[in-house]
A and B are shown apart, each in its own frame.
Chain A
């Protein structure tokens, strides 16, 4: 099959290899343009792209977005006294300095800044004359034991325990509301957009580091959306370092594999070109680089390298027979272009199925990855052989490849036993047992995020530790489900609205997994009690509309401008799927009983509302994606090999991997979520490559009349090393992610590494065993066959 002559090549081959300088020039020009484009790519963490926009919860949330805006973007800084409590001169001094320092950080809404030192934080008391009150820290405060005593009394009367002051009096909070855009300090006329990353860094440097060093008795905890996003972006930047690490490891492995600097550089270079093209195209079509699509360059790099290796392997083999590098490159192109293109097409088809998930980041990932693998056709299937035809492969590598072709390989000989008539049934039985076991164990697979705290970050990250501290010491929770109560304009404060809200809050409080709920009713009851001299017997709603109207005057953010929408904040224990389901179902049942023309209970906003919506979308699409991706891959195999048996040999090992992957996720406590759903499709799409490469070779040896085991040995000898190497390359490309500071990236990395390695193993181990049962070598022998890949 290697005795073709130059002139017998296809039209495509002639087009490319007869115009080599033009090909290089075109690639160069495209690269320059796309490199320029790639430089413009910026990390983006667009909120809307991470949520299922078509879900009714989200639609309602976006519809009422402006009404909910007041709920606010704040950062909370808790200053903890390690010894003793907050009532010490030193502690209060540090708190004052922190308060003042934060005041001057750009982006802080200074008027809303709140701590014990703020004049707006007051104590009130009912006296014979009415309310009496004052600043919690009075003007006369001087740090003396007497004034600290007064402070302690004022704090008790201020109602801030559990809010600004911890339940155990060992820490207190500086509440920092933020402005999304703020006037430029240099030029008051222009508005600057708040840079979360920079803001987060300023908090670290100017607050945490500075004051923990200055007063060794304090520890500072910072939580809030802005801090979380800042930490996330920091995590993203770290990913660039991972790319460098993956690049270096790949370089070493390539050198070991090819023993040829020239081809190593050629492969790495063309693959980098692929990555640059992909990034450039991403920017050209208007996508940014978000925490999910950051995976794409890694995948493209890994897939590119693996195809490059197949090419180099082929060229080295051809070089031992061809008289020059150009001929070797042409022959390899002729031999590998089609299977390569089919494998890439399979990848792309696998990625494209992700488009059915209604979440922006996943769609961008799908499109980005499809574009990326498309690019590989040009760079690694076309540019690489052209480049090699110029630079050639070192004599040493060719010598080695020549020797390899004839010598006996004990390792491959051993592996070829997988096709042995005795070993094969055992393998199939083991595989069936693993399949059954995996199916049974994977049944416990959960939907959604399972860990405490911010799911984006690791449970032991600084942010989540701070978050746990706040949750444990203050009356608050980080998982909030917001129910939007919609009434007629000016209708939010009437008894007929407030009473059902009160009932909803109590219904929710009695739902398992709910800690508490607050709304304007909470404030109203407190105010009515206050208007009645603090008497607990009045801490309930009044039927008097003037009393109710007055009572919500201070419930900022708990109703909108025209009093037609009031959010009910339901605080949950955690964001596990069953907790969210229970809470959401409780609200739905309540709404069913209480919705009227003038009053509707709408789901949902708040981080828990968004997660509930996301979980629903994922639950609905999970199986669809799996079925779709398998249909696509199986169809690809059918078209390629025109054989049901071949399709089964390739697809069944993949199914085993999917099932075991689910079991592994269950074991590791990883839920099916936005981050892990694409892995299923990516894993299958890329995993099918191995099967295609191995089966196409195996088939050609069977056609040559070899018995199964011998044919498999020959397959391994020629392509086994490349397959093994491909698996390693892909795994290395993604496994660095396991160390990402971002939890879902780590989960993606772990699952992809598992799926890619296990798919490779499945192809090497199970494919020949299945072939033993499904393929009749004597039928194939000597036949030309209808396979697309038949030569």
Chain B
């Protein structure tokens, strides 16, 4: 049985935005609120707005011992280092294959949704409020490059991809496509390069070996570019539901796209034609949504999703093995360390596992 559809609401008319006045840290206001002299406080209110604009630049994520166990959304390799991003402006890095994690100093408390490194040192993290952060030291320190609270009321970027230390793209909600060619010093709104009249969310962007760039999004939308993102072709996808991720494999032209309810498709011609890939679960067809994935150094492909699903393919995506981790926590992304062990992120933070996604040894 089905319940009424509750689709996301596009912001539409509710666009007028107030300057947020709640996050002030002015000592004067503190003292006054302590005195709880309400009449005096109302007099101070105009002051606090100014405090907010001053303070918003200097609000750092809270250092927390629980950050490695809280919601994390993406992970990438920066050379030998692993860097993970997540809720509340958390960015964590590990130099010992996931055993211990250090929290980076991050000038934001917004949720970060994706991270990508152009080389060992240069990396970008994106998130809500159209936030783009950058690092030039492999993830230890971060600076803000871009943010726009006004754009669709703080709608998020959902993925980021960089070719090298200068050229890259960020994609996000309501059809956002932002481009840079100077390592993020300037970011251009390139959304109109895509034919996306309904403003579908763009959920993921990737490079497909020997072919070009590929973007997938809401309602099965698909776009590809063969000229490094200058022009984009809209594709008729194999599926009506949302696609959350896209991956190129080691085989030129071969793409994997995946999304809601275990739907997984494979194309060997850079997205022109698609074949559904059936993943068998012990209880029939795989039913969990698939969120993120990675092409590992050894050429195998790993895709993770809800219900603790970890899918792995060693034949460029023709067939997949599946395990559902016993904790059933939803997973968002995956990376591998040098030994080939998987480092999963999602609900419950970081999970360091064996190459198949099962727990090899207890965490820490």
Are A547 and B9 in contact, CB atoms less than 8 angstroms apart? Answer: yes
Are A533 and B289 in contact, CB atoms less than 8 angstroms apart? Answer: yes
CB-CB under 8 A from A126, the residues of chain B are 260-261, 289
* Stretch touching chain A among B93-101, B151-159, B223-231: B151-159
What's the minimum C-beta distance from A539 to chain B, rounded to whole angstroms?
6
Identify which of residues 84-134 in chain A touch chain B, using a CB-to-CB cut-off of 8 Å.
124-134
Contact with A along B65-108 (1 / 0, CB 8 A): 11000010100000000000001100000000000000000000
B276 CB within 8 Å of chain A: no
CB-CB under 8 A from A534, the residues of chain B are 260, 289, 306, 330
Contact with B along A528-554 (1 / 0, CB 8 A): 001111111111101111110010000
What's the minimum C-beta distance from B35 to chain A, rounded to whole angstroms?
11
Residue of A whose beta carbon sits closest to that of B114 = A537
Q: How large is the interface on B (under 10, 10 to 19, 20 to 34, 35 or more residues)?
A: 35 or more
Known contacts A592-B33, A597-B42, A532 near B66 by CB under 8 Å? no
What's the minimum C-beta distance from B331 to chain A, rounded to whole angstroms?
8
B57 CB within 8 Å of chain A: no
Are A510 and B64 in contact, CB atoms less than 8 angstroms apart? Answer: yes
CB-CB under 8 A from A156, the residues of chain B are 307, 328
B20 CB within 8 Å of chain A: yes
Max chain B Cβ within 10 angstroms of own Cβ: one of A534, A546, A547 = A534
B234 CB within 8 Å of chain A: no
Report the separation of the CA atoms of residues A124 and B5 in the bound assembly, to the nearest whole angstrom: 12
Max chain B Cβ within 10 angstroms of own Cβ: one of A156, A161, A499, A503 = A156
What's the minimum C-beta distance from A151 to chain B, rounded to whole angstroms?
12
Report the separation of the CA atoms of residues A23 and B261 in the bound assembly, to the nearest whole angstrom: 91
Q: Which residue of the partner chain, among B23, B33, B65, contacts A595 with CB atoms under 8 Å?
A: B33
CB-CB under 8 A from B111, the residues of chain A are 537, 539-540
A417 CB within 8 Å of chain B: no
Tell me what chain B mostly uses at the interface: helix, strand, loop, or mixed.
Answer: loop
Are B33 and A535 in contact, CB atoms less than 8 angstroms apart? Answer: no
Are B289 and A537 in contact, CB atoms less than 8 angstroms apart? Answer: no
Residue of A whose beta carbon sits closest to that of B307 = A156
Report the separation of the CA atoms of residues A507 and B48 in the bound assembly, to the nearest whole angstrom: 22
Are A546 and B62 in contact, CB atoms less than 8 angstroms apart? Answer: no
Residue of B whose beta carbon sits closest to that of A496 = B22
Identify which of residues 66-99 in chain A touch chain B, using a CB-to-CB cut-off of 8 Å.
none
CB-CB under 8 A from A547, the residues of chain B are 8-9
Known contacts A127-B241, A496-B20, A537-B73, A134 near B1 by CB under 8 Å? yes
A506 CB within 8 Å of chain B: yes
CB-CB under 8 A from B23, the residues of chain A are 499-500
CB-CB under 8 A from B156, the residues of chain A are 537-538
Residue of B whose beta carbon sits closest to that of A529 = B330
What's the minimum C-beta distance from A516 to chain B, rounded to whole angstroms?
10
Are B41 and A506 in contact, CB atoms less than 8 angstroms apart? Answer: no
Q: Which residue of the partner chain, among A533, A536, A537, A545, contacts B260 with CB atoms under 8 Å?
A: A533
A residues at B contact (CB < 8 Å): 124-134, 149, 153, 156, 161, 495-497, 499-500, 503, 506-507, 509-510, 530-540, 542-547, 550, 592-597, 599
**New A-B contacts (15) at CB < 8 Å, excluding given A130-B7, A500-B22, A544-B153:** A124-B3, A131-B3, A133-B3, A134-B1, A153-B287, A496-B18, A506-B62, A506-B64, A510-B65, A536-B347, A540-B87, A543-B129, A544-B14, A594-B22, A596-B33
Query: What are 20 inter-chain pairs, A to B, with CB distance below 8 A?
Result: A128-B240, A129-B5, A130-B5, A131-B5, A153-B287, A496-B22, A499-B22, A503-B109, A507-B62, A510-B65, A531-B6, A533-B289, A534-B330, A537-B114, A538-B156, A539-B111, A540-B111, A544-B9, A592-B30, A592-B33
- 5 closest A-B pairs by CB: A130-B5, A128-B241, A543-B154, A540-B111, A543-B153
